[in-house]
Structure 1
């Protein structure tokens, strides 16, 4: 029997999201930790899926003791063709405490100064190819929006 090596994964650019955000809701320390919720109020998606980000989603964040943030974003997009795409992003934003504070204030911060990545789970009744792959995203946080590029893991 021949031993095979598993394939080395690669990344293939799939789509870019610009999500417009509402005001941060700081819920304080709950049983889950320091809870913050940031509403998703609109935006765009372009690439393998083209359309608009629908209002009504949010990022349910938990702030860790070291200031890092656990990301749990859930929102939908409506394609230019009328189809729907559900996106769930689970990841982390971390960095030097001064950098994280600057992001919280809405300052323009070089994305190389912090780490902001997530694994995406996609659902679509009309685009099953999105459900058959793993996606990773690299983010930039801006004052009133978040931008990211999603990559399909090959």
Structure 2
């Protein structure tokens, strides 16, 4: 029997700024406490350059302990007109007072809470086909009207 592959490393791939619209609170649904935050724009820079298009959203479920389940989906367009579809899934958690401050739009030090996601990319653009064959993980920062993250390619 052969040995399993070595544990992969992480290589910085691109930086993202996602601009957010006002939060819609759906209250308690059959899935839990549902919130939807529209994505109104943003930028991707680094090894990938693109503009995030309005129309996506982050469909969140607030867990009973206050942690958020992240389910973001949005599109971006490169300067060559190529379309990218990004799916972001993860969790944001922390002490109740820190989570309340983030919800209120206050500035909170990123090391005061946990906010990590996985990122998957889908595209028909041959120039970016390698992105569909990679897993990315991200360390995120929530700001008053945006989320910033650096995506790392799992090598």
Aligned to 1:149: 150
Aligned to 2:80: 81
TM-score (norm 2): 0.96
- Deviation of 1:81 after TM superposition, in Å, equals 1.4
The within-5 A match list for 1:2-151 is 3-126=2-125, 127-151=128-152
Deviation string 1:57-79 (CA, Å, 9 cap, x unpaired) is 00000000000000000001101
**Structure 2: runs of 5 or more not aligned:** none
- Deviation of 1:5 after TM superposition, in Å, equals 4.0
TM-score (norm 1): 0.97
Aligned mates of 1:63, 1:107 — CA distance in 2: 19
SS of residue matched to 1:76: strand
Aligned mates of 1:7, 1:133 — CA distance in 2: 16
SS of residue matched to 2:111: helix
Query: What CA RMSD, in Å, does the superposition of the two structures yield over aligned residues?
Result: 0.9
**Structure 1: runs of 5 or more not aligned:** none
Aligned mates of 1:81, 1:46 — CA distance in 2: 14
Aligned mates of 2:147, 2:63 — CA distance in 1: 20
Aligned mates of 1:4, 1:62 — CA distance in 2: 39
Aligned mates of 2:78, 2:26 — CA distance in 1: 33
The total of aligned residue pairs comes to: 153
- Deviation of 1:121 after TM superposition, in Å, equals 1.2
Aligned mates of 1:17, 1:114 — CA distance in 2: 19
SS of residue matched to 1:4: coil
Aligned mates of 2:21, 2:67 — CA distance in 1: 21
The runs of at least 4 aligned residues of structure 1 exceeding 4 Å deviation read: none
